[in-house]
Homo-oligomer: A and B are copies of this chain.
Amino acid sequence: MYTETSREQVEGLLLKAEQAIQQLKKRSIADRAALMDAIAAKIEGLGRELIATAMEESHLPEARLVGEKARTIFQWRSYADHIRNGICFEARIDTAIPDKTPPKPDLRKIKVGLGPVVVFGASNFPFAFSTAGGDTASALAAGCSVIVKAHPGHPKTSTLMAQAIAEAIQEEGWHEGVFSHVYGHSNESGAYLVQHPLVKSVAFTGSYGGGKALFDLADKRKEPIPVFAEMGSINPIFALPDKLAADPRGLASQYFASLTLGVGQFCTNPGVFIAIKGKDLAVFKAALQNEVASCPPATMLHDGIAKAYHTMSKKVLSQPAVRLLGKADQSATEGQGMALLAEAEAKSILANEHLLEEVFGPFGLIVTCENEDEMLMLARQLKGQLSITIASTDADAAKHTELIGLLQDKCGRLLFNGMPTGVEVCLAMQHGGPFPATTDARFTSVGADAIQRFLRPLSFQNWPDALLPDALKDANPLGIYRTVNNVLTKEAVGSKL
């Protein structure tokens, strides 16, 4: 079942994915949404076996996986509701003005799917960002067929999900090419998919190295295609003086909990904490040192990730500018990750930006600034982030408008206090951000707006009403919001406009 999919099989699956596109174009949005609901129901129906399999393959705890399963089902259902609502297809109608010079034609625009999409899942979310995850749900919602490259870290979990999707596709009477599942361990098998002429877009969640390599391959194609790669980030916290003074111990406890949540294996893990030197920071650090000493090491997703964590954290700690601030009393065994805290001066970071590279795992770097100018300089040097958090009182915020203005340019999500871990699935979520957090800051991979990555506008000029897609017909049979002659309305064309 988990043997490498052969090139011949991959070719066959891609041809089917291409054929399925024509069916996806023909059948209604309501049918597509019904398929998505059916997939959600099938996933819901996967009981103990799914959780047990994922626990075995990912070493994630049961409660976390039960929660992630619910999140995955919610993604399918809420994205289905979103396409039923219809506004995401951005129907625009400009009616003809025959007596204008030159005559204005009738123009009607709607967003349609890009074509077959290849999805690369993440190891750290075996449900919500893998085979049946948000990328698959949003590509299908957009009307694209999907080819998932199964994550080699959890092939059995992926297969259970793929079977659930395939069953729903069959029961709802859809072409089997709507969804395909490919197994392959080598980078070449993924590269082959991204370079294939039938593939029209790519979604990826994972490391910078992996995402950037796929992005480069896609750009070098004869026909370049869009790649949305979410490649993680260090999600810095800028702690402002008033806030730090108010409750340094509370902030330390909150920060440490976020840093070590899920053994630090979140793309929104707050890997860097930036504050100004002084007695409040000293209290904060002492509290952190207490926390880390008693934090037991825990098993990471797989051995490869644990090894990479040890290597990367060791590399950062070997820099003369970085000193170890604290670690657990108990040492880690093979496959485990142990929380580590390090410290560096802002001026060292300013001299060597590589010190701010992501260490995937529970590794926290405390960056100490001499003053607020150094904090500003750090903000200016910062690369693109999924999230940035400002630990701030209202008084702090009033004093630091320049800093807040700068940080807005560097991230997809800006938090006022709280911690960045926990990515709510909702329309107002932005899980994206300037490069290198993602390859295209204009899109998100969480929330129903993720569908937009796989849509493109298509205009129909002077088409007979009967031949237009339902969304664009005069009578508005779908009852959706449309922009008719620059006015947002659900009215039929000509009714009272």
* Interface of chain A residues 389 through 438 with chain B (CB within 8 A): 394, 397, 404-405, 408-409, 411-418, 422, 424, 426-430, 432, 434-436
Q: Verify A408–B112 contact, CB threshold 8 A.
A: yes
Q: Verify B462–A416 contact, CB threshold 8 A.
A: yes
Judged by a CB distance under 8 angstroms, whether A216 is at the interface is yes
Judged by a CB distance under 8 angstroms, whether A118 is at the interface is no
What residues on B are CB-neighbors of A394 within 8 Å?
464
Q: Verify A459–B109 contact, CB threshold 8 A.
A: no
Q: Verify A428–B109 contact, CB threshold 8 A.
A: yes
Q: CA of A483 to CA of B405 in the docked complex: distance in angstroms?
A: 25
Q: Verify A226–B408 contact, CB threshold 8 A.
A: no
Q: CA of A85 to CA of B485 in the docked complex: distance in angstroms?
A: 13
- State how many copies of this chain the complex holds: 2
Q: Verify A115–B457 contact, CB threshold 8 A.
A: no
Q: CA of A430 to CA of B435 in the docked complex: distance in angstroms?
A: 28
What residues on B are CB-neighbors of A259 within 8 Å?
none
What residues on B are CB-neighbors of A456 within 8 Å?
412, 432, 434, 441-442
Q: Verify B467–A416 contact, CB threshold 8 A.
A: yes
Q: Verify A418–B464 contact, CB threshold 8 A.
A: no
Q: Verify A114–B441 contact, CB threshold 8 A.
A: yes
Q: Contacts A422-B102, A436-B223 given; indicate if A412 touches B457 (C-beta within 8 A).
A: yes
CB of A380, distance to nearest CB on chain B (Å) = 11
Q: CA of A108 to CA of B428 in the docked complex: distance in angstroms?
A: 5
The contact size tier of chain A is 35 or more
What residues on B are CB-neighbors of A224 within 8 Å?
215, 435, 439
Contact with A414, one of B94, B455, B461 (Cβ below 8 angstroms): B461
Q: CA of A429 to CA of B106 in the docked complex: distance in angstroms?
A: 10
Q: Could you name 12 residue pairs across A and B whose Cβ atoms are closer than 8 Å? A: A81-B486, A94-B428, A215-B219, A226-B440, A408-B458, A411-B458, A412-B459, A414-B459, A414-B463, A416-B460, A427-B486, A432-B456
Judged by a CB distance under 8 angstroms, whether A449 is at the interface is yes
- Identity of the chain B residue whose Cβ is nearest the Cβ of A212 in the assembled complex: B224
Q: Verify A430–B409 contact, CB threshold 8 A.
A: no
What residues on B are CB-neighbors of A411 within 8 Å?
458
Q: CA of A89 to CA of B134 in the docked complex: distance in angstroms?
A: 24
Contact with A104, one of B25, B109, B412, B424 (Cβ below 8 angstroms): B424
Judged by a CB distance under 8 angstroms, whether A87 is at the interface is yes
CB of A429, distance to nearest CB on chain B (Å) = 6
Known A-B contacts: A416-B461, A417-B462. Give 4 more (CB < 8 A): A413-B459, A414-B463, A434-B456, A481-B488
* Interface of chain A residues 361 through 408 with chain B (CB within 8 A): 383-384, 394, 397, 404-405, 408
Q: Verify A418–B461 contact, CB threshold 8 A.
A: yes
Judged by a CB distance under 8 angstroms, whether A444 is at the interface is yes
Q: Verify A461–B413 contact, CB threshold 8 A.
A: yes
